[in-house]
Amino acid sequence: MRLWSLHPKYLDTKGLVALWREALLAQAVLRGDTQGYTNHPQLQRFKATRRPVTTIAAYLAAIHQESVIRNFNFDLSKIGPGQTAGQLPVTRGQIDYELGHLKHKLKLRDTQGFKRLNAVKNPEAHPLFKIIPGSIEKWERIPTQVR
């Protein structure tokens, strides 16, 4: 499961569809509708909020907005009611890590997307998040070969 902190506009088609599906799974986990993935590290920042279910719904709403811009047909009715009391913090180190991770993926599957993303020097966060100073988030699982 990858719940990107990066703005969904940076994702290619395959990445945006995967994010939509994985965020819907996260919503099901946070609602208690499934027994799998309950301790997944990507969910920690949502679980730490006062209202995890409405927070993940707000996260999904921004993904849906990006799907509308691209003329995709994501089903809005799958998102529960969502709101937050503001943006959640995400560190600059996390954003930079995710940018590198996405570049690696796009280099392998979408050359044009990689070129566009490679030109981004100051990436935006997903609208739910506000970038703050700091290194990679503690919940991030970094592969051994990247460390």
SS3 of the chain: the string is CCCCCECHHHCCHHHHHHHHHHHHHHHHHHHCCCCCCCCCHHHHHHHCCCCHHHHHHHHHHHHHHHHHHCCCCCCHHHCCCCCCCCCEEEEHHHHHHHHHHHHHHHHHHCHHHHHHHHCCCCCCECCCEEEECCCCCCCCCCCCCCC
Identify the weakest region by mean pLDDT among 31-40, 111-120, 121-130.
31-40
Q: pLDDT-derived band of residue 142, with 50, 70 and 90 as boundaries?
A: confident
List the one residue out of 4, 26, 25 whose CA is nearest residue 15: 4
- Tens digits of per-residue pLDDT, 82-125? 777 689 999 999 999 999 999 999 999 999 999 999 999 999 99
- How confident is the model at residue 144, as a pLDDT? 62
